Amino acid sequence: WEGSWEEGAVRLDKQARIYADPAKVHKVQHHGPYYQSEGYHLCEPSIQRTPVLYQAGTSGRGRKFAARHAECVFIGATDKAAARKTAQSLREEVVAAGRHPDDIKIFLGVTVVTDKSREAAADKLEDYRRYASPEAGLAHFSAGSGIDLSRYELDDPIQYGPTNAIQSVTQLAKQKGWTKRQLLNELSIGGRYPLITGGPGEVAEELISWIDEGDIDGFNLTRAVTPESYEDFIEFVVPELQSRGAYKT
């Protein structure tokens, strides 16, 4: 990003059939203690050249890493109080690293199911549940938590030990005391993130409430159905957020 493509390397000369000047595109030669890399960067840099740096993970090590390097942090939380606690902890780490607390933006993972009315959204969610795969939800949980749920019967208590897996995933299930049966119900739609459902205005108000009470800056929208979840959000929710001054116009 920083040095492989010089300024002016991209020519976009259709008549001469030249996309880029090869004299201005250079190999990246990195030889460090952890990995080695040698080759040309595969695409031209973006307009700002240096990418926005996102970090995901709220373990102790993850927070410290984010505090030093990240511009945006992706978190998971089951409720607004938990989101606020995580956000405050992250900003304290940022200050301890010598940065301003507003140097990072915090994004919460959420799943939204919406339609033109509350009733239509409820019907849509019920329809989604008919096609959802509970087993896939459990597999997704196992991948994030490092726990092999196939070893447990439906109502067995799940044992949580020390792990380097996604901390927010294991903490949530441990705090709730969920059995495998309960996980099947919780994870079929929305996965590991809060599920917000309702009419356009209801969803907009709930998202704004998460911003205000959870002390976060925005959301990472996860899909229930692709691309319908995103299309619905754009059609129904974005105008409501715009009318409330909560989204760019």
> What distance in Å separates the CA atoms of residue 246 and residue 197, rounded to the nearest whole number?
19
Q: Report pLDDT for 183.
A: 77
Q: Report pLDDT for 96.
A: 96
Using H for helix, E for strand and C for coil, what is the string for 38-104? EEECCCCCCCCCCCCCEEECCCHHHHHHHHHHCCEEEECCCCHHHHHHHHHHHHHHHHHCCCCHHHC
Q: Report pLDDT for 135.
A: 76
Percentage of residues in the chain with pLDDT exceeding 70? 92
Strand partners, 107: 74, 218
pLDDT tens digits for 132-174?
Answer: 877 777 787 777 777 888 888 888 878 776 666 566 666 666 7
Per the prediction, the chain carries an average pLDDT of 89
Per the structure block, which two tokens stand in for 159?
């044992």
Sequence-ordered list of residues with C-beta below 8 angstroms from that of 176, at least 6 positions apart, any chain:
78, 182
Q: Report pLDDT for 181.
A: 79
> What distance in Å separates the CA atoms of residue 116 and residue 122, rounded to the nearest whole number?
11
pLDDT at 191 over 80: no
- DSSP strand pairing (36-40 vs 54-56): unpaired
Answer whether the bond into residue 45 is a cis peptide, omega within 30°: no
What DSSP designation does 235 have?
Answer: I
The predicted model gives 220-232 an average pLDDT of 93
- The alpha carbon of 209 is separated from its chain's Cα centroid by a whole number of angstroms, namely 19
Sequence-ordered list of residues with C-beta below 8 angstroms from that of 245, at least 6 positions apart, any chain:
none
> What distance in Å separates the CA atoms of residue 64 and residue 95, rounded to the nearest whole number?
11
Q: Report pLDDT for 24.
A: 96
pLDDT at 234 over 90: yes
> What distance in Å separates the CA atoms of residue 176 and residue 182, rounded to the nearest whole number?
10
pTM for this predicted structure: 0.78
pLDDT at 194 over 70: yes
The CA-based angle 205-226-199, given to 5 degrees, is 25
> What distance in Å separates the CA atoms of residue 98 and residue 67, rounded to the nearest whole number?
9
Q: What's the pLDDT band for 220 if we cut at 50, 70, 90?
A: very high
> What distance in Å separates the CA atoms of residue 224 and residue 194, rounded to the nearest whole number?
12
Q: Report pLDDT for 199.
A: 98
> What distance in Å separates the CA atoms of residue 116 and residue 123, rounded to the nearest whole number?
11
